[in-house]
Structure 1
Amino acid sequence: MSSTLDGKVVLVTGASSGIGEATALALSAEGAAVATGARRADRLAALAGKAPGEVLALDLDVTDEQSVRAAVAATVDRFGGLDVLVNNAGVMLNGPVAAADTADWRRMVETNLLGSMYAVHAALPHLLERRGAVVQVSSTSGRTATATAGAYAATKFGVNAFSEALRQEVTAQGVRVVLVEPGFVATELVDHIADPGHRALAREMAASMRTLRPEDIANAVVYAVTQPEHVAVNELLIRPTDQTL
């Protein structure tokens, strides 16, 4: 019995845990050949062992443009093309502006925003050739900024803006751009926060609600990329029912 993505090739960045891992597994279950990229290669090997289909594990640092280009090239070399790019790699290093370590700002801009832009630029010729799709994993912080999350929100607002401009450029050529904006998801993002007080606050907020699971977002990605070619699901805002902001 054929699956909905048989013959399709997908590259997922930030695939070593959380949303990226769940999305890679979900797309593999739908029949896609999946290239997974992340800095933690050991975790990618474990993911490949769980996937029902063929998975290519790639050592990928999205802040390094050459690493991104190499990952796209390796995907195309292995599978013969590229149909879907899932830009998921990201870090969240929240804290108040006045007390910020600006190196954290730089890391978020380079990972969350520039990293996704590098990946789009490298993948786009292949996506245009196969009338594929770009899935941009943003956040509710890409539409509502909150105190202590200013720099993170700035990167996600940037992802949203870049995605809309990209959509306008490529939709007439058959490439669909999907913006996914999750609310609180049970992932490792909170663990990236260096300040113990703000890390504890983020965990407390997450514990106050029924958070989303990575699989919830993965299911939304599968829905978007398996629609008929004439249907473009351009934006998916997904919050926990209990989340107010």
Structure 2
Amino acid sequence: MRTLDGARVVVTGAGGTIGRALSVALRDAGAQVVGLDRTVPPDAPVPILTCDLTDEAAVRDAVRAALDRLGGLDLLVNNAGVGGPAPAELPPDATVRRQLEVNLIAAWSTTAAAIPALEEARGRVVFIASRMAVLPLPLAAAYGVSKRAVVAYADALRLEVGTHVGVSVVYPSMIASPIHDSTAAAGLSLDGVSRYEPVEGVVRAVVRAATVRRPPANLATTGRGRLELAIARHLPGVARWMVNRTVARRLAAGSFDRADLAAGLRRRAGR
């Protein structure tokens, strides 16, 4: 096992629910943590550098500033992410494009800026993806697409730098946070379709990815998560049946009756 004591860490999205929990846990384990985020909460538990992660030049400058402050880099956690309503049958709008920019392109830009320092330190990079990367859900296509693309990026990165930099992906389910607010406001809440889980599972998975001798490629955050990942990968037909059955039940219960964006889904279900 490696140790986090004295490790130099950058966490993106450090001001949010998961980012804050990660920053506190890593700091308490002895790491030096610097966060990157668009805004800095007044009670931030670690130093946070303001940065629009969708601006590549700003990302390069912020990563350079973080490295100067830390004196190098042992661990990058790409945690920043946004959600929003996005039915796959509708054209991509600004909500879709922002999710792709923040969830995928920003993680790519941040990683590229950090790779030289990570390679020098034989460090590690961890991506916070989602179970939706392998178990897609309706009405949230942009989020699932962006997170599946993050996994593909991590797989390609591992092939290129894996001899010198550990590359891991963590797959949480729903975490209670403001990321779901816009989807709920549109009447497309996935409550009852996906299950909430505690943020502590994400923290444990990231710590494990950072400290075990051989960095795992993929980590679930709960026992149920491990089962769902296995079903999605090895029994895709069963996975589709599970999602279709759950969505049919939510439709029958009227969960999406007031959502204009779910009109097509309701019509095909005879509602």
Work out whether residues 91 and 192 of structure 1, in 8 Å CA contact, stay in contact via their aligned partners in 2: no
Work out whether residues 19 and 214 of structure 1, in 8 Å CA contact, stay in contact via their aligned partners in 2: yes
1:131 to 116, 122, 135: 122
Q: What is residue 141 of structure 2 aligned with on the other side?
A: 150
What is the CA distance between 1:238 and its match in structure 2?
2.7
Q: Which moved more, 1:89-98 or 1:187-196?
A: 187-196
Q: What letter is aligned with 1:234?
A: A
What is the CA distance between 1:217 and its match in structure 2?
0.5
Q: What is residue 72 of structure 2 aligned with on the other side?
A: 81
The structure, 1 or 2, with the larger RCO (C-alpha pairs under 8 Å, 6+ apart) is 1
What is the CA distance between 1:195 and its match in structure 2?
4.6
For structure 2, list consecutive stretches of 5 or more residues without a partner in the other structure: 229-241, 244-271
Q: What is residue 24 of structure 2 aligned with on the other side?
A: 25
Q: What letter is aligned with 1:108?
A: Q
SS for the counterpart of 1:193 is helix
Matched, 1:178 2:168: yes
**Structure 2 CA distance for aligned equivalents of residues 117 and 22 of structure 1:** 23
Q: What is residue 43 of structure 2 aligned with on the other side?
A: 46
1:118 to 105, 109, 122: 109
Q: How many residues align?
A: 227
For structure 1, list consecutive stretches of 5 or more residues without a partner in the other structure: 49-54
**Structure 2 CA distance for aligned equivalents of residues 78 and 195 of structure 1:** 40
What is the CA distance between 1:237 and its match in structure 2?
2.1
What is the CA distance between 1:186 and its match in structure 2?
1.8
Matched, 1:196 2:186: yes
What is the CA distance between 1:192 and its match in structure 2?
3.3
TM-score, normalised to structure 2, is: 0.78
Question: Percentage identity across aligned positions?
Answer: 37
**Structure 2 CA distance for aligned equivalents of residues 80 and 117 of structure 1:** 22
Structure label with greater radius of gyration = 2
Matched, 1:72 2:60: no
Work out whether residues 96 and 149 of structure 1, in 8 Å CA contact, stay in contact via their aligned partners in 2: yes
Alignment CA distance shift 1:240-1:94 (3 Å): farther
What CA deviation, in whole Å up to 9, does each residue of 1:195-233 have, x standing for no partner?
5311xx324546xx5x212222012111210112xx121
**Structure 2 CA distance for aligned equivalents of residues 137 and 92 of structure 1:** 14
**Structure 1 CA distance for aligned equivalents of residues 219 and 80 of structure 2:** 18
